[in-house]
Each structure stands twice: as C-alpha cells, then as structure tokens.
Amino acid sequence: MRKICVVITARASYSRIKTVLQAIQAHPQLDLQIVVAGSALISKFGNILPQLEAENLPVSAIISNLLDTESSTASAKTTGLAIIELATFFANHRPDVVVTVADRFETIATAIAAINMNIPLAHIQGGEVTGNIDDRIRNSISQLADLHFTATRQARTRLMGMGLPAQKVYCTGCPSIDLVRQHRHIDFDPYKMYGGIGARPDLNKPYLVVLQHPVTTEIIHSKWQIVCTLRALATLGMPVVWFWPNADPGTDGTAQGIRAFREANPGLPFHYFKHMESDHFIQLLKNSACLVGNSSVGIRECSALGVPAVNIGSRQRGRERGSNVVDCIPDADAIVAAVKQQLAHGHYPPVAIYGDGDAGVRIADRLATVPFILKKHLLPS
Amino acid sequence: MRKICVVITARASYSRIKTVLQAIQAHPQLDLQIVVAGSALISKFGNILPQLEAENLPVSAIISNLLDTESSTASAKTTGLAIIELATFFANHRPDVVVTVADRFETIATAIAAINMNIPLAHIQGGEVTGNIDDRIRNSISQLADLHFTATRQARTRLMGMGLPAQKVYCTGCPSIDLVRQHRHIDFDPYKMYGGIGARPDLNKPYLVVLQHPVTTEIIHSKWQIVCTLRALATLGMPVVWFWPNADPGTDGTAQGIRAFREANPGLPFHYFKHMESDHFIQLLKNSACLVGNSSVGIRECSALGVPAVNIGSRQRGRERGSNVVDCIPDADAIVAAVKQQLAHGHYPPVAIYGDGDAGVRIADRLATVPFILKKHLLPS
Amino acid sequence: MRKICVVITARASYSRIKTVLQAIQAHPQLDLQIVVAGSALISKFGNILPQLEAENLPVSAIISNLLDTESSTASAKTTGLAIIELATFFANHRPDVVVTVADRFETIATAIAAINMNIPLAHIQGGEVTGNIDDRIRNSISQLADLHFTATRQARTRLMGMGLPAQKVYCTGCPSIDLVRQHRHIDFDPYKMYGGIGARPDLNKPYLVVLQHPVTTEIIHSKWQIVCTLRALATLGMPVVWFWPNADPGTDGTAQGIRAFREANPGLPFHYFKHMESDHFIQLLKNSACLVGNSSVGIRECSALGVPAVNIGSRQRGRERGSNVVDCIPDADAIVAAVKQQLAHGHYPPVAIYGDGDAGVRIADRLATVPFILKKHLLPS
Amino acid sequence: MRKICVVITARASYSRIKTVLQAIQAHPQLDLQIVVAGSALISKFGNILPQLEAENLPVSAIISNLLDTESSTASAKTTGLAIIELATFFANHRPDVVVTVADRFETIATAIAAINMNIPLAHIQGGEVTGNIDDRIRNSISQLADLHFTATRQARTRLMGMGLPAQKVYCTGCPSIDLVRQHRHIDFDPYKMYGGIGARPDLNKPYLVVLQHPVTTEIIHSKWQIVCTLRALATLGMPVVWFWPNADPGTDGTAQGIRAFREANPGLPFHYFKHMESDHFIQLLKNSACLVGNSSVGIRECSALGVPAVNIGSRQRGRERGSNVVDCIPDADAIVAAVKQQLAHGHYPPVAIYGDGDAGVRIADRLATVPFILKKHLLPS
C-alpha cells in the first residue's frame, strides 16, 4: 500500500482534484491522506470540510496557516507556516508520495516540504501558460516535482522542453473536467441552499455567471477592474449570478469595489454567492448564457461544456483555449461588446482540450504503479 | 538609488558572492542591504559576521532560523522560518531587488519571500547541472527569478532552453572566481589563526586539501562515505588539511565518522579546520598538491587555479569541468589511485570556464541598470 | 541613553499607551523603539500607522502576524509568530527594556521573547481583576516582568501579594486616563472624518455610545449577546454611536449579529464606526449621555470623565469601579432598565481611581532611572 | 474517556513525568496522548523515543522545533514554533486536558497553546522556588493553569498565596520521586550500555556523580564555572561519573570547558555520559558516595535516596532541601571542602519532602475526576 498525501489549500484546488481523491480512495493499493489548510478552512473563502465529509473523504489533518490577507507579507508568511507544519505532518504520517495541484502561491509550500524530506512529489496541472506570476510558481513546482500529470498534450511537451524526463510526465487530462461530464440540468435551489445576497433572478431565463479574481501583480487595480465589469453588466441589464473572489492578495480591493457598487446601484438583477459546491456550480455554469470574468473556468470547464466565455484582462493570458472564448480588456465598453457577441453566438460544441473525463482514475493508477527513482544511491559493494 | 538586498545563509554562499557585495557597495547608484541567516550565523559552521565586519560590509539584519540539523524536518522548517522572517525584513526595508545565490535548500526561501511580495529577484549561478537534488532547487529558483547571472555560457544556454527570456539571462562568470586571481603564496599561519585540531603538517611541503560534504539524498551513507576518504588518505600517509563539512542534513554522520576515525587512528598527519576566511582558504588551496572531496571548489576554483582535484562520488555529477578534475567512486582504493594519478601529473594550466575575475562588477552594473519589467500593468486610459 | 522598545499589537493598546510613547520620546535619556504588530496593522481593526505618523511617533518595525481570526488556533499561532519575529527584532535592535501593556492574548508574546533573551521587561496595567481569561494572561505576564506600572493602588497591593518585590511595583495611574483630562467639546465632524455606515444622529442632542466585545470564553454566544444589546437599544430608540469590536476570537459572531440586525431593522438611529482616533473617541464619549457595552472604557475612562456607564455581562467582572457604573446581565430588558436608570441620573463627578493624568511622564521617568537587577551574576574574585 | 495530552520537550521532563504517563495509560477512564518535541528528539541531548517505545508508551506526534542553541534568539523561537505546532496538534486531536511539567523555557509554549484554545491546563511542579529565571517561568505557567499538582506542601501554600484557588491545587508529591523507591543495586554495565568517553572507574568502589548545567542568566560564565568543578574533582582524584548538560542556552560554554579540560588533563579517572535512561541513572546515583553539581536531582531525588549532595552556586537557590545538601559557591577550593565534608558524613536517612512515591497514580486519578470549571458561561434563560 502506498500512502498518498494530497494537500488542499483552497476551495478551487479541491474542485480540481476531487475525482483524484475519489480514485485514490477507491484504489486497492493506495491509502489516502488528505491535509486541508489555508483558505480551504475559512468560511468566507468556502470551508471545504463539510463537503469532504459529505463525500466520505476522511481528513487526516487540518492546518490553519492563513494570515490576514490585507498584509503585503501575508502570502509569504502563509507559505512559510505551511512548510513548517507540513514538515511535521510528513514526519508523523510518512507518506510515500505527496500530491500538489496547480499554481497557487501556497502550493509551493507542499512541494518544498516534500522535497526537503526526500518524499517523491507529484504535480497536477504543470506545463500550462497563463501569462502571469502563476506561471513562475507553476514552473518552479514542476522543477521540484518527481512526477507530472498534465491536462493537455501541449503542457506535456512544454515540460519536456524544460528538461523534465519524458517517462515522468503523463498527459492525463485535468481532473476538473471529470466533473463536467455528468451534469445536465439545475436540480437544486441555489438561493435556498447557498443564501447569498442581492436579487434572485429566475434561472430558467438566460443569465450570466461572473467569476473575477484580483490579478496578483495588479493589487492596487483590483477595485478599478471589478468596477469595469460591474458597470458593463449593469449596462447589459441581464440577470447575473456573481461569485465572490478567492483569497488572493487584492481580494479586499475587489470586495470593496463590489460592496460600494451594490450600495450605489441597489436595483440591479445581480445575485452574489460566496461559494458553491463544485457540482452545483457546474450545473449553474452549464445552463448559463455566458461566463464573464478572468477565471480559468471560462477556458477549461467551459470548453468541455461548450459554454461561451468572455475572458477579461491578463490573468489567463497564454492559456490554451477553445473557440468558446472571447478575450477583452478590462474596460466596460469592451466587456459589453464581448458579451453581446457571445450571446449572439450561443453555446459551442464541447471540445476535449483539457481532458476526456478520466483524469482522476488515470492519475490514481499511475500513483500506484510508477517506480520512483531510488533517491538513496546504493553503496559500492 | 536602487536598494539591493543580498541574503546570505551559509559561509559557502558568502565566499561565492563576496565580490558582488563589494561591487554593489562601491557602486554610486546602488544601496546595499545584507541579511545574514541560517548557518552563516553559527560558529560551528563558520559565523561570517566577523568577516563581514573586517571587510566593512555592514549587516542590515541577522535572522536566526537554523533548526537543529539532526531532525528530518530541519531543512524544511529552516526554509519556512526564513520565508516568514524575510517577508518582515522586506516589508520594513523595501528593497528594489533581492539577490539570491546558487542552490542550497534554504536559498529558495529568499526567492519565495521576494516573489510573494512582488520584489524583482536576481539569481546567481543558475543553469548549472550537478546531478543531484540541488539541480531541482536551482532550476526551481531560476523559474522564480526575474534576472539571471550565470557562471558559464553553457548555463546561460540551458536557462534559455528552459523558457527564460534571453534578455534577462546574463553570463557574467562566477563571483567566486574573482577571488582566485589575486592570490599567490601563503602569507599567514593557519594553525595560529584558525586553531583546529590534529597534527600540524609543514605546509611548505606537499599536502592535500580535503573538502567533503554529505550528499543530500544519501543521508544514511554520510558516515560510510567519509570513512572511505579517511581510509584512502591514511593509506597515502601524506599531510592533509581537512575542512569540516557545512550544515546540510547528514552533517552529523560525516562529523561522527571523522571523530571516530580520529580516535582510532591517532597518529595521522591530518589537521582539521572548522572553517577559514575565503581568502586564506584560496591560498591554502592554490599551494596544495591536490584537492580531494566532493566540493564544487574542485571543479570551479581549482580550474581557475590549475590545482588538481579528485572528485568523489555523485555530488558534482553533471557539472561542467576542466581537465584538472579526476572523478572516482566513494571507495578507498579508487580514491588512492586517483590521488596518485593527480600527484604524478602536478598542477594544470588555469582555464576560464567559470569566469574571468570580473563577475562582481558586471553583476553590480546590471543590477543598477537593468529595466525591470513593470509588474503592475497600467490602467487603460 | 536607554533604548525602550514598546510593542503595540492592537488599536486599543495604542490608546492606552500613547502618553507613555510621547513621554519616552520627549525624555532626554530615552530612545524610543516602536514595533507595530497584529491587528494594529489591519484596516478593518483600525490600522494605527497613520495615527502614529500624525503624532510624529516613528515606527521602528512592523510585524504582520495576525492569522485569520476564524480558526480556533488563530490566537495561539498569532502569539507564536509574534515571539519568533520579536526575537529577531530584539536581536537586531538590542533594546535595554521592553514594554508591554495589559492582557491581550498576544501581549504575552512580547513578554516571552524578552524574557528568553534576558531583556528586562516592564508591564503596564498589571494587578487588575476582570474576572475572565484575561486575568490569567495578565497575571502570567506580571510573573514574567521585571518592572510593573499599575493603574491603581489596589492593583499594586495585589501584585505584591503575588510575591512580586515592592521596589519593582509602581502605582503610576493608567496612561489612558492621561488622555481624558484635556478634552471638552466635540471639535470635529465624526461622520465626515470616519465615514462609517447607518443613520447620522445629531450629536448635539443626547446619544449613547456602544462598545461591546465578544467574551473570549463565550465564543459561540457572541452573536446572541450582541443581539440582546441591539434589541435593547432598538427599544430605547435613542441615537446611538456604535463602535465595531476588536480582533478577539468571536469577533465574527459579533459582526454577523450586527450585520443581520441592521438588515432586518433598517430605520434605526444607529451609526456604526469601525474605529476612531482615541482623542476623538474621548470627545464623543465625554459628551454622550451614557456608555453601553462591556468595554473597560466604561469603568476606566468613564470614571475619570464622570460619564454614566452600563456594563453588560461578565467581561469586566472584578474590575475596580466608581459609582458611575451600573452592571447588568446580557438581557434586552435588563439593559433597557439599566440605561434608563443612568439617563435619569445624568453625569457623575469625576474620580481618580485609575489615575490623575500624569501616568505617561511617571512611567518614562522610572524607565530612565530604575536600576535593573543585574541578571548576570559576578564571578567570585 | 478523558483525553489527556502530555507534552514532553526534554529528557529531564520525561524522567519527571514517567510514572504519570504510566498511571494515565493504566487508568480505565483516561486516554493518553504523548507529544514529544524539542531536545527530547535530538540524540545529543538524549532522544527519548527509544525509551518510550521500550516502555510501551505510544507517541501521538513528534514536533521538531529546536533551533540551533547557539543563537541568542534560539529559545524564544523554539518556544514560538512550539506554540504554532502544538495548536495544530490540539486542533486535530482535541485533548480534554493538557499536562505540562515544571519550568523549562519551552514549557510555557504548551501552556499558551492550550490557554488560547480554551483547553484546561494541568501543571506539575508549580509553586517551588529555585531563585533564578526559572521561577518566573514556573510562576507564569501557574497563573495560566487550571489545575496544579505540587511536589511539596510548601509549594501548595505558595500557589494559594499567589491567588490560585485551593480546590485546584493538589499536593501529590513529585512523580520523579516515584522512580526512586524501587531501586537498590546496579544491575547493568553502564559503560557497555551507554558508551561515553574517558576512564572507566570500578563502580563497586566509592565514586562521585556530577550533573552541572549552565545557569540561564550567566551564559558567559558557563565555561568558567564548569572549570571550577573540573579542577576541584581533579584535586580530589576520586572516580567520577559525569553527565553531559542539557540543552539550555550556554550549553556550548559548558561543553567547551569540559572538552578543553579533558584534553589538557588526559589521565583523570572521569567517565562522561551523554545521557542515561532514568532508571539506570537512579541506580548509579543511589550507589554513589556523593552527587556534585547544580541539578535539582541533588535536592529532590537525593533527599529521597539519602545520597549526600554538594550543590554549587545559585541555580537551586531557594529550593526546599533536606539535610543531605551542602551548598557551596562555584570555587574549586570550596567544592573540594564541601565534597570532603559529605564523604566524611556518608549517606543520610531518606526523607519525603518531595513525595512518597505515589505521585503518578494520584495525578492520574485527579485528572480523571476533577470537575473542570465550565469556561463557557450559560446563557440567561
């Protein structure tokens, strides 16, 4: 039995890795250790513990390490704390492999703790290009990892170009796409189940979904950028289901922008959710007229769903995309034009750039069978 | 005035970067901030504070973060603490650029703290290949850095191959080579100045220098490997100047091996130093008959000095080398044979693979003039 | 010149120690080092940096250490981080005395860092009794401190009863009372200057001030308790100036209670401030009809001002008090009755239980002149 | 079942609490959680893990937190790290009571983590007086604790005098005395079992035992003080069994003193042990002619054994003692005279000041039955 430790530090990462967790748990030769840390433990960013419990995914340990997000040092210190405490977890629970996902600033903590303790590291979603600071962190983790599971063929090629050995880089597809295939209609009442504030538009009529995060290198502009989007959607006047941003630095600017605009524009048909279980989110997404914002969801999940996406600004720059995406700059007029173009077009045929729906099972199989290079060299006899 | 912060976490890194510090301090447009941390503060690993004071290099802050090296979590926690405390230093002293050097496990802490706080990061000695876990850490830091100063042309080419932009990668030569050019004869009494224990061989007659570190991925073999070298040199019976290993995990195994061998073999002509000011070390090295061990010194400094080197085991695997290096496995007989071969050959003509002696000045000039890419995108007008 | 380091970890502590800072800065034999940490750096809890700048009190260092307050481990980890980083500050800035104030959970961090580094520790506001967990922390700090400045004679007697040496315990009065003497009328527009939300009652007519914090040992009841007070004040219908609670665990419950009540009761004549410069706060307090809540302000400042106070619940249990205080349980009816009783009585004559207004100067004088017991014993000759 | 978490941070603390651990483990209503941290994990200070395994005492978690002891900030940072990581342990394992022992600098970490998380804290060995910085830490912990188990009646009285409630302070005797009663003769070969270095005196003839720690407030004098003792014992010329000091700051001075003296005086009949299992240590102690040094063992265990003790210097100042103790200043002549006086007297009759041998069972019983004051107040109905 190999012990596989998966560290989850944000709600978004959980959604990306859920089918991997399920496949590891179901695998006869794997023993799953889940560590939950960072914003994944905090209600306002979407505490995932209730959801893990609902899915019968047992948590081995929780590690609170999120500093108050306002400080410029918060993300560095959150990362430092995570390394310290993950080292203790690894020393006590001795996983055979540690799995980390994607490119969040605190993801590198998992990698560093594992590397320093000579534990093989598997990385999911390496080799992609998004054109911002996340690229550096993602590539940096790829350089530390022993085993790579990429979402796309192009990502695999890119990793090998960076010098990583071909026999350690597998294109498995992205586990987040696994979740997309099962869903069809909205089978729950989002307002009743998740509360939130604002108007409660009828979701049987055309509506937009918004998911816009602050851009890490543009902290001071967070407020301004969110206001552009708010103005554009106010101009359009369509019903909007708006999801609160996650815990990056700059969140507060985005949050302030939304709050101020709401107070100044009370009658708009916008509803705001803090977070939503990923299955439910995919339902809402699949049935929407268009996704607006700068989340990778517009490029990844929406390509598999065929949902039109308006991608604003630089955050997803360089990411491989299907024909369902229209890019625009963070400007109210540009956003209005792009959304109108997408509404005129309607849904697209789904494509499989980011996976065919079996990534979780493929990754678990590899974790069970890949021979790890012996790090401890043999002595001469 | 650009504020340039250089973080030094080990005596070895100080020697490598000393001429850069001097060149930054002398530069009219640069303001130098030195942070000393980790083993560079601990006497038994070679506290560098007295040396910095002697060189009139003022220290902006000291950060004690070294955990007791015996624990398997020590290096991870040392890294985590460094990130936390460097973030506070950066928040209070607001450097314009942070400089980090080489590939030690705690070097990545400097990189992560800087990146998380949107401070441009310069990395010295990226792009090399040594064939062990250090490669991962070195490449990982390269992926995080904004600006790269390589020791060799081949290293520059390798970084560009990894996707880093050519205009941000400069081949400057290695600053540690800058120190090599000035030295000729031994102008100090090493026994009087640095104490140490053991025999006190006459350094006017042929002697060997030993510098052997534990190999990170072979912690349990540290003791065994050092004993091979000890046995080989006991067989040879030549005078030896032996330098104590630095603070990697596994140090204790190496140290135990040396202590036990010494007690069991009391009459050998070996002298043991804990550390030595780098200028003095270079003098001893230049006048030695051969360097034995697994330090990069055998490959880098010795190539510039023309000193023969016997390089034992896997630690420097893959590093570019001149004809002055003979490689051998960690086996007493093999070491004896390799040393005899080098003694028979004698000194080599110096070569400039790792630099021509002006790296410090070149790096300072670049730090003063390179335009950093604006991380904060402009707003649309 | 003695270097005196004062560590401030919360807005409330700053107000309590402001006149001490001014007196140290003005003292010819003292050199002031201010460290700002914890919630005192975070906007939502009242960032004190702008105020320190306005008062020309230079900050030697900022240390961000506040973990997200929702986690049950947040206060412990905030304390642990503070110890780590304060140790580094003390090692780099070598204060002769460290000053800590009162009884907040993170205050003990300052004490432990100083004690571990053999730096004399002065504690302000020891020896009081408030009847909750704060008593333990306060007494624990008193046991660590070398020098004690108490607010009341009774507090001094209590410390000596705990075994502390009489010659190290001075009754100086509380520095927060120093601020009270200068103020008369409201000379600023609070709504313009501090924003806030809600109604904007005319402050020339009678109004109440509310300051209610969560009780540390009653986290789960925070929401319930704040609702009692909200209901009582809604019943009374008088204008209310309400101050947001500070960063104790449980804050979120209190905040949620206030937000929910506000949404459900939109027309009430309540105005909510997040924080206010202490001089301004004292003006508002002095001119109010009555203070309501569980803050020590009702007992300390209000006794010196003669302002009636309704003290709710257990938080101030055991604290010495003047006749201006009416206690009541956290029950809406009880609160209504107590406020009515105070309104019927009107203002009280000021009393000097907690100080005569010269505490800051007295403390600075002692810090300059007290001979610290030599901790390093002399060698036998 | 109450879950009782005992945190052990040093070998010395383990010996003091071993019978408590056994009694908790044997108790039908108690569930034992052992956390091992700090120097108790490090070989050179006496790693206790093998001993816990041998005693069938399962370890719930190990937490490496010991910084390299040379730094002046090491003890503060070790304490800070302990708080952070213990908070995570408590959050994950939810003990009903946390037990901490005595007065080491890092002991307070356990107390602070527990207090901040509203977990009842039991403290063993409060209320004693030793006349140094440890008094402050011990009293500080007593002020934080909910439940107190004292070694002596006088200690209980002292705690109540400090304001602690009588019904929460139990005089149980010291658990370290429990170990003393069972032992008679030396039934093992200490040289074979524990190695060590130096001469190997015949332990059937009269010998001395030495246990001398650096004094926290006298770091710079550590080396000098140990040399006094070394000289005195060299003068006496009797066989000596010498135990290496533990991990306080200043250890290095003591260690250097011993090493230098050994090299300069090679023929002395002294044997040096790094550590010894406590049962074995008690055997050696019981059969010795006299204990020399500044350890509490001379006052506590030796009083119960009737072994003469020469107590040097200030470290145990103020500690209750029996007639078996002769005090002297750290001066070679004074030590010689005191040892001669004790040798002339011979063994003393045992006395029960520090316990009658049933402390462990008594403490476990109390932990199982004491009603903890509800920290969470009830709501008004």
**B91 and B17 belong to one structural domain:** yes
Within C102-221, residue ranges assigned H as helices are: 107-116, 133-144, 153-161, 175-178, 190-194
Query: Helix or strand or coil: residue A272?
Result: strand
Q: What helix, strand, coil percent values describe chain C, rounded to 5?
A: 45, 15, 40
On the question of pLDDT at B45 being above 90, the answer is no
Please give, rounded to a whole number of angstroms, the shortest distance from the CA of C164 to a CA of chain A. 37
Query: Helix or strand or coil: residue D288?
Result: coil
Query: Helix or strand or coil: residue A76?
Result: helix
Neighbours of B43 (CB within 10 A): 12
Q: Which residue type, as a one-letter code, is found at position C319?
A: R
Mind listing the pLDDT tens digit for each residue in C313-335? 988 877 889 999 999 999 999 99
Residue B381: inside a domain: no
Mind listing the pLDDT tens digit for each residue in B183-239? 678 889 999 999 998 999 999 999 999 999 887 655 667 788 888 999 999 999 999
Chain D nearest-CA residue for C80: D80
Q: What is the pLDDT of residue B12?
A: 83
**B23 and B165 belong to one structural domain:** yes
Residue A381: inside a domain: no
Q: How far apart are CA C71 and CA D167, in angstroms?
A: 33
Q: Report chain C's mean pLDDT, rounded to a whole number.
A: 89
Residue D240: inside a domain: yes
Best residue in C68, C81, C251 for a mutation probing chain A (most A CBs within 10 Å): C68
**A173 and A28 belong to one structural domain:** yes
Give the domain CATH number at B145: 3.40.50.2000
Q: How far apart are CA A253 and CA A251, in angstroms?
A: 5
Which of A81-85, A222-226, D18-22 is least confident?
A222-226
**B198 and B314 belong to one structural domain:** yes
- Return the biggest CA–CA distance within chain C: 80
Query: Of B36, B87, B40, which Cα lies nearest the Cα of B62?
Result: B36
Query: Helix or strand or coil: residue C266?
Result: coil
Best residue in C34, C85, C90 for a mutation probing chain B (most B CBs within 10 Å): C85
On the question of pLDDT at A167 being above 90, the answer is yes
Chain B nearest-CA residue for D39: B68
**Identity of the residue in D61, D62, D88 whose CB atom sits nearest the CB atom of A63:** D88
Partners of residue C250 in chain D, C-beta under 8 Å: none
Partners of residue D376 in chain C, C-beta under 8 Å: 217-221
**Identity of the residue in C76, C144, C161 whose CB atom sits nearest the CB atom of D117:** C76
Mind listing the pLDDT tens digit for each residue in D97-136? 999 987 787 789 999 999 999 999 999 999 998 767 788 9
Check if B66 contacts D (Cβ < 8 Å).
Answer: yes
Best residue in B60, B77, B83, B88 for a mutation probing chain C (most C CBs within 10 Å): B88
Mind listing the pLDDT tens digit for each residue in A121-132? 999 999 998 767
**C149 and C199 belong to one structural domain:** no
Interchain CB distance below 8 Å, B79 and A158: no
Beta-bridge partner residues of C2: C30
Check if A235 contacts C (Cβ < 8 Å).
Answer: no
**A157 and A227 belong to one structural domain:** no
- Return the biggest CA–CA distance within chain B: 80
Total beta-carbon pairs less than 8 A apart between chain A and chain C = 48
On the question of pLDDT at C249 being above 70, the answer is no
Q: What is the pLDDT of residue A38?
A: 93
The H or E element that residue B322 is part of is: none
Q: What is the pLDDT of residue C246?
A: 65
Chain C nearest-CA residue for D142: C140
Determine the average pLDDT of the residues in A294-300. Answer: 91
On the question of pLDDT at D257 being above 90, the answer is no
**Identity of the residue in A42, A67, A77 whose CB atom sits nearest the CB atom of C70:** A42
Mind listing the pLDDT tens digit for each residue in B310-350? 999 988 877 889 999 999 999 999 999 999 999 999 999 99
Please give, rounded to a whole number of angstroms, the shortest distance from the CA of D3 to a CA of chain C. 18
Q: How far apart are CA C327 and CA C337, in angstroms?
A: 11
Interchain CB distance below 8 Å, B80 and A83: yes
Please determine, for the modelled complex, whether the ipTM score is greater than 0.95.
no
CB B108 within 8 A of CB A143: no
Interchain CB distance below 8 Å, D84 and A84: yes
On the question of pLDDT at B24 being above 50, the answer is yes
Total beta-carbon pairs less than 8 A apart between chain C and chain D = 156
Neighbours of B35 (CB within 10 A): 24
Check if B42 contacts D (Cβ < 8 Å).
Answer: yes
Residue A56: inside a domain: yes
Residue B378: inside a domain: no
Residue A351: inside a domain: no
Q: How far is CA D286 from CA B69, D279, D294, D352, in A?
A: 36, 11, 17, 16
Partners of residue B67 in chain D, C-beta under 8 Å: 64-68
Q: What is the pLDDT of residue A305?
A: 92
Check if D264 contacts B (Cβ < 8 Å).
Answer: no
Partners of residue C64 in chain A, C-beta under 8 Å: 67-68, 71-74, 77
Interchain CB distance below 8 Å, D87 and C80: yes
Beta-bridge partner residues of A61: A35
**B60 and B209 belong to one structural domain:** no
Interchain CB distance below 8 Å, A66 and C68: yes
Q: What helix, strand, coil percent values describe chain D, rounded to 5?
A: 45, 15, 40
Check if C331 contacts D (Cβ < 8 Å).
Answer: yes
Interchain CB distance below 8 Å, B88 and C88: yes
Check if D71 contacts B (Cβ < 8 Å).
Answer: yes
Interchain CB distance below 8 Å, C84 and B85: yes
Please give, rounded to a whole number of angstroms, the shortest distance from the CA of B305 to a CA of chain A. 32
Strands B240-243 vs B208-211: parallel, antiparallel or unpaired: parallel
Interchain CB distance below 8 Å, C68 and A73: no
Check if C62 contacts B (Cβ < 8 Å).
Answer: yes
Q: How far apart are CA C92 and CA D81, in angstroms?
A: 20
**D252 and D308 belong to one structural domain:** yes
Q: How many residues does chain B have?
A: 381
Interchain CB distance below 8 Å, B65 and D77: yes
Strands D197-198 vs D270-273: parallel, antiparallel or unpaired: antiparallel
Partners of residue D61 in chain A, C-beta under 8 Å: 88, 92
pLDDT grade for C43, boundaries at 50, 70 and 90: confident
Partners of residue B248 in chain D, C-beta under 8 Å: none
Beta-bridge partner residues of C290: C208
Chain B nearest-CA residue for A379: B221
Residue C35: inside a domain: yes
pLDDT grade for C219, boundaries at 50, 70 and 90: low
On the question of pLDDT at A100 being above 50, the answer is yes
Domain count, chain C: 2
Check if A158 contacts B (Cβ < 8 Å).
Answer: yes
**C297 and C202 belong to one structural domain:** yes
Chain C nearest-CA residue for A69: C68
Structure token digits, residue B322: 């001149």
Please give, rounded to a whole number of angstroms, the shortest distance from the CA of B43 to a CA of chain D. 8
Q: Which residue type, as a one-letter code, is found at position A144?
A: L
**C158 and C306 belong to one structural domain:** no
Which of A25-29, A274-278, B98-102, D16-20 is least confident?
A274-278
Q: What is the pLDDT of residue B220?
A: 64
On the question of pLDDT at B247 being above 70, the answer is no
Check if A260 contacts C (Cβ < 8 Å).
Answer: no
**B120 and B175 belong to one structural domain:** yes
Query: Of B40, B64, B62, B65, which Cα lies nearest the Cα of B51?
Result: B40
**Identity of the residue in C62, C81, C88 whose CB atom sits nearest the CB atom of B91:** C62
Q: How far apart are CA C292 and CA C303, in angstroms?
A: 14
CB D105 within 8 A of CB D129: no
Best residue in A7, A77, A160, A248 for a mutation probing chain B (most B CBs within 10 Å): A77
CB B55 within 8 A of CB B18: yes
Check if C117 contacts D (Cβ < 8 Å).
Answer: yes
Residue A219: inside a domain: yes
Share of chain D above pLDDT 70, in %: 93
Q: How far is CA B78 from CA A87, B113, C64, D267, in A?
A: 11, 14, 19, 42
Partners of residue C68 in chain A, C-beta under 8 Å: 42, 64, 66-69
DSSP string, D17-74: HHHHHHHHHH-TTEEEEEEEEGGGG-GGG---HHHHHHTT---SEEE---B-TTSTTH
pLDDT grade for D215, boundaries at 50, 70 and 90: confident
Please give, rounded to a whole number of angstroms, the shortest distance from the CA of C249 to a CA of chain D. 10
Q: What is the pLDDT of residue D378?
A: 31
Check if D118 contacts A (Cβ < 8 Å).
Answer: no
What residue numbers bound the domain in which C329 lies? 190-345
Please give, rounded to a whole number of angstroms, the shortest distance from the CA of A314 to a CA of chain C. 28
Q: Which residues contact B268 (CB under 8 A, 6 or more apart)?
A: B198, B199, B233, B234, B237, B240, B262
CB C154 within 8 A of CB C130: no
Q: What are phi and psi of B235, to 5 degrees?
A: -60, -45
Q: Report chain B's mean pLDDT, rounded to a whole number.
A: 89
**Identity of the residue in B41, B64, B70 whose CB atom sits nearest the CB atom of D42:** B70
Q: Report which of residues D373 and B110 the model is more confident about.
A: B110
**C171 and C194 belong to one structural domain:** no
Determine the average pLDDT of the residues in B141-148. Answer: 96
Check if A247 contacts B (Cβ < 8 Å).
Answer: no
Interchain CB distance below 8 Å, D62 and A91: yes
Burial of D31 (0-12, 13-18, 19+ CB in 10 A): middle
Q: What is the pLDDT of residue D381?
A: 29
Partners of residue D66 in chain B, C-beta under 8 Å: 67-68, 71
Which long-range CB contacts under 8 A does B189-196 form with residues at least 24 apart? B190/B241, B190/B273, B190/B276, B190/B280, B190/B284, B191/B271, B193/B280, B194/B273, B194/B274, B194/B275, B194/B276, B194/B280, B195/B273, B196/B271, B196/B272, B196/B273, B196/B274
Query: Of B323, B240, B235, which Cα lies nearest the Cα of B289?
Result: B240
- Return the biggest CA–CA distance within chain A: 80
